[in-house]
Copies of this chain bind each other. A is one copy, B any other.
Amino acid sequence: METETPVAAAGGAPSEGRPPLSRERIVTAALALADREGLDALTMRRLAADLGVAPMAPYTHVRSKEELLSAMFDAVIGSMDLPEGDGGDWSEELRSLGRSFRRAMLAHPGAVPLCVNEPPMGPRALRAAEVTFSVLRRAGFADRDIVRAFFTVVTYAMGFLVVEVAQTRNCPPEEREEMERQRKLQFESLPLDEFPNVVALAPWLGHLPVEEQFEYGLDRLIAGLEADLSPGRVRRAR
C-alpha cells in the first residue's frame, strides 16, 4: 500500500522503540509476508513473529484471520490506479480499468488467491467500483446491465489472475520453459483418434503468452458488451 508508514521499517530489536501495533501495520506486514512466501505461509504466529510481538497480539486489532484476509484484499484493490477524466471511449476506459485491476493485484501476488472469497466490494474497493459504474453508465447501459457488466468483467479478471499467479508461483521462471516443453510433448503424444484437436493444438497449449491471453479475453468480453449496446441490434426486452 502507498499509505504505508515507513517508520522503523527495518525491524531491529524485539521490544525497543517498536511502534505500537495498528490495523494498518498488521495488514501491511501480512501482505509483505504473503508476497514473499505465499499465502500458505501467512500464519497468525509467523505474522506476530515478523511484527516482533506475541502470537496473540494481532488479535487486539483484528477479530480473526478471516477478517485480516478481507482487509488485505480490500487494501490491494484500494491501491488500483483509477482514471481521472470523464472523457474518452467507454470501451477503452473499461479495458484500462481491467488492466489496472490486474496490475494492482499482481503487485501483491500473495493476495491474489483471496479473490475467491468475496467480490471486490470492501470499503476501499468501492472507489474503483464507483468509477467503473460511471463508465458503464456513460456508455448507455441500463442500471441492471451496469451491474451485470461490472460483475462479468470482474469475474473474468479474477478468474484469470487466480490461475495466473497459481501457475507462476509453483514454478520458478528457470523451470518455466522446461515445463512448457514437457506439457507440449505430453499433449502431442496423446492418441490421435481420440484427441485430434488436443494433439493439433499442442504447440499453443504448451505456451500461453499470459499478457496476450488476458487482453484477448478482455477484448472479446468488451466486444460482447458493445454488441449488446449497439443500435443496430435489437435490445433484449426486460
Partner of A146 from B155, B160, B201 at Cβ < 8 Å: B201
> Given that A197-B134, A224-B222 are contacting pairs, would A205 and B147 also be in contact in the complex, using a CB cutoff of 8 Å?
yes
B contact residues around A167 at 8 Å (CB): 118
Q: Is the CB of B152 within 8 A of A155?
A: no
On chain A, the number of residues with a Cβ less than 8 Å from chain B's Cβ atoms is 56
Q: Is the CB of B117 within 8 A of A201?
A: no
CB distance from A90 to the nearest CB of B (A): 14
Q: Is there a chain B Cβ closer than 8 Å to A185's Cβ?
A: no
**Chain A contact surface mostly:** helix
Q: Is the CB of A208 within 8 A of B133?
A: no
Q: Is the CB of A118 within 8 A of B194?
A: no
Partner of A151 from B190, B213, B222 at Cβ < 8 Å: B213
Q: Is there a chain B Cβ closer than 8 Å to A49's Cβ?
A: no
- If A221-B224, A224-B224 are given as contacts, then 16 extra A-B residue pairs at C-beta distance below 8 Å, sorted by A number, are A118-B163, A126-B190, A126-B198, A129-B198, A134-B197, A147-B201, A147-B208, A151-B213, A156-B156, A156-B221, A158-B163, A159-B159, A159-B160, A222-B224, A224-B227, A227-B227
Chain A residues close to B by CB (< 8 Å): 113, 115-119, 121, 126, 129-130, 133-134, 137, 143-144, 146-149, 151-152, 155-160, 162-163, 166-167, 190, 194-198, 200-201, 204-205, 208, 212-213, 216-217, 219-228
